[in-house]
Structure 1
Amino acid sequence: MHTWLNYIVEANIGLLLFLLLYKALLSKETQFSYRRFYLLGGLLLSLLFPWLTIGAPVDMVPTLSETLPDHWLPATLEQPQNTAVHSTFNFWEFAFWIYGSVALLLFIRFVYQIIMLIRESEKAKTSLPVIEVDNSSFIAFSFFKLVFISKAFNLNEADKQRILQHEQVHIRKWHSVDMVLIELVRILFWFNPLLSYYKKEMSMVHEFEADEVASGNEHQDQYCSLLARSAIESSGYALANHFNNSLTLKRITMIRTLKQKVKQWKTGIVFLFVSILFLGIACQDQIAAEMNGLSQTTTVAGDFPDHLLPVVEQIKKENPGIKLMYVEAESINEEKIRSLNPNKILHTSHTRNMDDKGNIISERVELIIKTDDSISQLGDMTKSDDDVFLVVEANASPIGGMTALYEAINRELKFPEQAVKMGIEGKVFIEIIIEPDGSTSNHRPLKGIGAGCDEEAVRAIKAANVKWNPGKQRGVAVRQKFVIPITFTLSGDASTGTVIPKEKKMIISSDVSYQNGKAIVNGTVTTEDGKPIPGMNIVVSGKTYGTVSKADGTFSLMLEEKSGELAFSFIGFESQKVRIN
């Protein structure tokens, strides 16, 4: 799913869940500031959480793993383009522009409302924050520091003072900020009707807060009488805090209700809910990665360009277990495409690269096909002008198999120190050509991650000097182009073809004492040049307890018995074991 659509869905799910919890636990609470804080916090957290992600757990030993795909694929990297014209209709791009256009129109209307309020205040020609207007659709409302009172209603001085006290509470508590924020979110998620209810609840809480302060214990009867007389449905200024609204009866009831704090168990549920929601949204990338790892097809998402991933996912959804191959070929004769079995071609995309004058520099056709015996047709079709094949009947393969290739490259690979220090990880794509005699040539990075990783990947492949069984087309050895992905990551397993950077030695000194039949070990861990190593992991072998060294490299650990073995491990250092007798 596209990132923007993901965000919209996740944010609105968050808003829905926050609102459901509010309705179940807090909607009848009389601690109005708590309710306001919850509504405002729920709004902001729903907008924020989808941007946060928690990746999969990362081992702390930097390693470099070199991964080769189950099926060799031709080069798939996008080249710089001046103009690209695809034959397929991009529904998601069209939907994005429609969605954005509606949001833009609503935003323009929002700005217009603010401008109208400003003009209304300018018409009054007064420096006072209280502005009297001729509008009869409301009695009074506030917007930030401005208070508007209608001349159309006969209000005595006492009533005016109570109204002003009420509106001053709105101003002091910055209620207008809440309303503006909600309006902006309503514009962003204009399709969500729940936000109208969200706004209604927030507005009601604002009125409860203002009523609580403005009424006072000694003036409750007079204030409730004023509310009853001013119960006129207001409209016209959606951004304002109105003195009168349709919930007058609720406001009067709340004024006379004994105020109580929110119970602690409800607060506990709120915090638990927020934590679960955060983990559920932020950990989605890790969960998705684990689920993708269970795929039974030979297709790897990374082997397809980003713009084709929605197509690939749709094909896989409609055809479970299907094996797909992505083919990119330049300057393909359309007759050759038509000569293929149309049932084998699941998707085509035609791209033209043009210069500034509109002249066609090159053309490219992208295909998504089923992998089967018809590959020989593709081999002929994708032959390039320099006799380098992208796809052939019999793919080239390293002599000795994949294991030999792993071992040869791993012997040469060295984790770049700059990448380790900067925490750089990712995938480097190295393009090579397998010559008819089994040698390799034209090593070059197509896509890299920098920090010395690109150059190191090229150097290691060259230095490995692995001989290949050449690819064959109709029984003849030919040149074949491949892209080898080398993944730089902060975790790895040497049994699957990884290289661990050269590790330093640690110096361990320790003293043992005994108390109540148990050994107490006190010691220090340092580098070879005597510098302390803080955070050293120290575990009792075969047990589930241990400790870590302090900032000065010292440690203290009590064993459950008189003897045992301590295992020391830390990033970039050789692991050691010390026997305690």
Structure 2
Amino acid sequence: MITYILECLVFQLVFLLAYDLFLKKETFFQWNRVYLLVTFVLSLVLPWVKIEVFKTVMPQEFAEIPVLMYQLDGVVLGVESATRFWEVLPWYYWIMGLGSVVAAGWLVHKLFQIIKLKRDGVVEHHPDFTKIMVKESVLAFSFFRNIFLGGNIEKEKEVRIIAHELVHIKQWHSLDLLFFELARIAFWFNPLVYVYQNRMAELHEFIADAKAVKQHKKEHFQMLLSEAFQTQNISFVNQFFNQSLIKKRIVMLQKKKSKAIWQLKYVVLLPLVLGMLVYTSCEVGKEDNNEEVNSSIPLTAVKKIPFGVVDEAPIFPGCEDAEDKRACFVENLQKHISKHFNYPKEAQEKGIQGRVAVIFIIDANGKIVDIRKRGPHELLENEAVRIIEKLPQVQPGKQNGNAVNVAFSVPITFQLENGPEVGVDAEAQKIAQRIADSPTFINIDEAPIFPGCEDAADKRVCFVENVEKHVRKHFNYPKEAQELGVEGKVYVIFKIDANGAIADIRTRGPHELLEAEAERIIKRLPVMQPGKQKGEAVDVPFSIPITFKLQ
């Protein structure tokens, strides 16, 4: 939101500078009016516009367990997902909202001022306008079809004033000013909105003067200079006697009509808009490097491709001729961890145990880089990093035939019961072995197709994205679990069977309440097109960790 506001401010500043430098002194008043309206709207719209020639959509990488079945980062859901919006609204939203309420109240106050003037004045209805005579005053302004005139204005001047104000009425100038008045409610903190409104009010007077004062310009000047300049403090009415505009209006009335060739100045708008489009389109999605204690580990680099979906997985030394190189990679990684494991003596003495989640990157040269870890103690974390650092250089993974960075995640469990137990979770090892013997989501010939993904360029990625959206949409933190303070991660494994239905849902979590909610969400998944192996529909396993987190 803050970025959007800043971009709007910058775009408006650029548009206004272009107006003041190139267009303001020209007599193309109607063109300038259109310019101000269009550029203001563009400044609000352009930050949302992206021109993407190549758009690569990646899932949020993968979860910890199982190594070969993690399709996306664990979906982290908290009580705030089910709470009222005002309970989680950032403080600056409250300030913006309060300012908008005050600005709206001020607008209502000014409208009541106009209503009061009309109610207390003498009303005369004419075919093209309604004249309101305000007693003991020299007011002169219009608002939509209403022309307000002070009773102390001389009669011979009324004709010129009415002719002037009729131009405002016929060209609906009040709509322009009211538009910016509403914009001031939403963007009360933006000074450029007030500048836009001021520039528009100037233009309205120039337009009305140009239309109404074809002859007798000298008398018109004298009338402007002779008045007492009494005005109402209402920003969205067209005031005839506006002291700050009198000099500008006289100067503009004396100015010769601009040559048509200078209309080419409006072409400056095209490179401005093009440059803004290039800027907004070249923005890279922001990376969220904040790590939550209970969340699955996210990857910081959006250009890393998950091990589970890369076209050609990295090849571990010795797996070059293996039939399933992914399974061979996992198997050799497990052997490497077991071989190089050394339970820190200090950790044993202190009784420290638990799981260390490790994420690393196999870069485009096949080297292990960017190792990150999270565990119960730095002694275990350091040992996990030491083991991963000793991994040999591998053949890099490939996407579309090019070597790319591939992200890999593995949990290493340190357990003191019955002697140290090391390596990837036993359950993960069993699942990995089953994966090596049967089709899985990542290595099946044709992955299941989520409804709506039929025409997607990458149906696996589309499937993952839609599963995550489904989980977030249907999530409801169990009230009893909230009251009991129950939170944690629920691992869910299910199958998309040969008919495309969801079957064999299994859950493992810290409490049955969370497990039941996770199962309820997965059961609501729609029927989809089944996966195929060698042209035949088959059962395809899929897993996702869902983290329940209390505030």
How high is the TM-score relative to the length of structure 2?
Answer: 0.57
Q: 1:69 aligns with which of 62, 82, 93?
A: 62
Paired residues for 1:67-466 under 5 Å: 69=62, 72=65, 75-78=74-77, 93-124=90-121, 126-128=123-125, 129-134=130-135, 136=137, 139-151=139-151, 153-155=152-154, 157-216=155-214, 218-230=215-227, 232=229, 234-245=231-242, 246-260=244-258, 261=260, 263-281=262-280, 283=281, 287-289=283-285, 298-299=299-300, 323=372, 376=414, 395-396=428-429, 398-399=432-433, 409-415=443-449, 419-420=453-454, 425=462, 427-429=465-467, 432-433=492-493, 442=505, 452-453=527-528, 456=530, 463=538
Q: Distance in 2 between matches of 1:449 and 1:220?
A: 76
Q: Distance in 2 between matches of 1:199 and 1:45?
A: 16
Contact persistence 1:376–1:393 (CA under 8 A): no
Q: Distance in 2 between matches of 1:442 and 1:289?
A: 34
Contact persistence 1:11–1:46 (CA under 8 A): yes
CA gap 1:278/1:75 in 2 versus in 1, 3 angstroms:
closer
Contact persistence 2:132–2:149 (CA under 8 A): yes
Q: Distance in 2 between matches of 1:10 and 1:212?
A: 36
CA gap 1:205/1:288 in 2 versus in 1, 3 angstroms:
same
Amino acid at match of 2:102: L
SS in 2 for 1:200: helix
Moved more, 67-76 or 167-176: 67-76
Q: Distance in 1 between matches of 2:79 and 2:504?
A: 23
SS in 2 for 1:149: strand
Cα displacement (A) at 1:172: 0.9
Contact persistence 2:287–2:302 (CA under 8 A): no
Amino acid at match of 1:195: V
Contact persistence 1:170–1:176 (CA under 8 A): yes
SS in 1 for 2:236: coil
SS in 2 for 1:420: coil
Q: Percent identity between the aligned chains?
A: 23
Q: Distance in 2 between matches of 1:66 and 1:22?
A: 44
Contact persistence 1:211–1:255 (CA under 8 A): yes
CA gap 1:233/1:51 in 2 versus in 1, 3 angstroms:
farther
Amino acid at match of 1:483: I
Amino acid at match of 2:177: M
Contact persistence 1:412–1:464 (CA under 8 A): no
CA RMSD of aligned residues (A): 5.0
What does the per-residue CA deviation read over 1:407-466, in whole Å, with 9 as the maximum and x for residues that have no partner?
8742252546864269994614496449xxxxx95267957997754x647999x94678
CA gap 1:125/1:84 in 2 versus in 1, 3 angstroms:
same
Cα displacement (A) at 1:30: 1.4
Contact persistence 2:164–2:209 (CA under 8 A): yes
Q: 2:44 aligns with which of 44, 47, 58?
A: 47
Q: Distance in 2 between matches of 1:53 and 1:159?
A: 54
CA gap 1:244/1:421 in 2 versus in 1, 3 angstroms:
same
CA gap 1:449/1:228 in 2 versus in 1, 3 angstroms:
farther
Q: Distance in 2 between matches of 1:207 and 1:24?
A: 20
Amino acid at match of 2:149: I
Contact persistence 2:121–2:135 (CA under 8 A): no
SS in 2 for 1:323: strand
Correspondence 1:27 to 2:28: no
Cα displacement (A) at 1:115: 2.6
What does the per-residue CA deviation read over 1:54-108, in whole Å, with 9 as the maximum and x for residues that have no partner?
445369xxxx99996385577435378896699xx96x62211121111111112
Contact persistence 2:64–2:411 (CA under 8 A): no
CA gap 1:83/1:207 in 2 versus in 1, 3 angstroms:
closer
The residue that corresponds to 1:8 in the other structure is 5
SS in 1 for 2:75: coil
- Larger helix proportion, structure 1 or 2? 2
Q: Distance in 2 between matches of 1:248 and 1:376?
A: 83
* Number of matched pairs: 381
Amino acid at match of 2:262: K
Cα displacement (A) at 1:393: 8.7
Contact persistence 1:413–1:456 (CA under 8 A): yes
What does the per-residue CA deviation read over 1:178-225, in whole Å, with 9 as the maximum and x for residues that have no partner?
111111112211112222222221111111111111111x21111111
- Larger strand proportion, structure 1 or 2? 1
Cα displacement (A) at 1:37: 1.1
CA gap 1:450/1:37 in 2 versus in 1, 3 angstroms:
farther
Amino acid at match of 1:30: T
Q: Distance in 1 between matches of 2:190 and 2:139?
A: 31
Cα displacement (A) at 1:13: 2.3
Cα displacement (A) at 1:51: 3.7
CA gap 1:422/1:99 in 2 versus in 1, 3 angstroms:
same
Amino acid at match of 2:444: N
Instruction: List alignment gaps of at least 5 residues for structure 2.
Output: 290-297, 305-368, 382-408, 418-423, 469-490, 495-502, 507-518, 547-551
CA gap 1:159/1:241 in 2 versus in 1, 3 angstroms:
same
What does the per-residue CA deviation read over 1:268-317, in whole Å, with 9 as the maximum and x for residues that have no partner?
21122123323433x25xx3149899xxx8347899xxxxxxxxxxxxxx
